[in-house]
Structure 1
C-alpha cells in the first residue's frame, strides 16, 4: 500500500479555506483519505492524504483523471484561484509495511 501526502503551506488566513475546498473537491475520489491541518510544527499547513494499492495505481489515477474531461472541467471550475491560497507545497509518498 502507498500513502501520499500532498502538503501545502498556505498564506496566513487561508489554511482552513483550502482544507474546506480540498475536502469538497476530493470527496468523490475513492483514493482520498483525509485532509489534515497543523496543530504543531510549521504553521498554515494543509495536508491531503490519499491511499493507493501501488505506485502504478497512483500513476494510473492521474491518467484516469485526465481522460475524464467533464470531471476535469468541473474540478478546474471549483479549484479556480486555489494557487493564490498557498505559498509552497510538496509531495511525500510512503510505502506501508
Structure 2
C-alpha cells in the first residue's frame, strides 16, 4: 500500500477555503482519506491524504482524472480558480510497511 500527501501552501486566508473546496469535489473519491489543515509548523497548508494499493493503482487514478467524462467536467468547473488560492505545493509518496 502507498500513502500520498499532496501539499498546498496557500495564500494567507485561503487554506480553509481550499480545504472546503477539496472536501466538496473529492467527497466520492474512494482514495482520498483526509483533507488536513495545519495546526503547527508551516502556516497556511492544506494536505490531501490519499491511499492506493500500489503505484499502478495511483497511476490509474490519474487516468480516471484525465477522462473526458461529465463527472470530471463538473469537477473541473468547480476547481476552475483553485490555483489562485495557493502559492506552491509538493507531493510525497510513502510505502506502508
- DSSP-derived class of the 1:39 partner: coil
Shift of 1:50: 0.4
Secondary structure of the 1:40 match is coil
Residues in 2 aligned to 1:68 and 1:32: alpha-carbon distance in whole angstroms: 21
Equivalent residue for 1:54?
54
Residue 66 (structure 1) aligns with: 66
Q: Which residue of the partner structure matches residue 83 of structure 1? A: 83
- Alpha-carbon distance in structure 2 between the residues aligned to 1:86 and 1:29: 22
Displacement over 3 Å in runs of 4+: none
**Structure 2: runs of 5 or more not aligned:** none
Give the secondary-structure state (helix, strand or coil) at the position aligned to 1:56.
helix
Q: CA contact under 8 A between 1:2 and 1:51: conserved in structure 2? A: yes
2:24 aligns with 24
CA distance in structure 1 between the aligned counterparts of 2:87 and 2:68, rounded to whole angstroms: 29
Q: CA RMSD in A?
A: 0.8
TM-score (norm 2): 0.96
- Counterpart check, 1:42 vs 2:34: no
Gaps of 5+ in 1: none
TM-score by length of 1: 0.96
Give the aligned length: 97
Q: How far is the alpha carbon of 1:67 from its aligned partner? A: 2.2
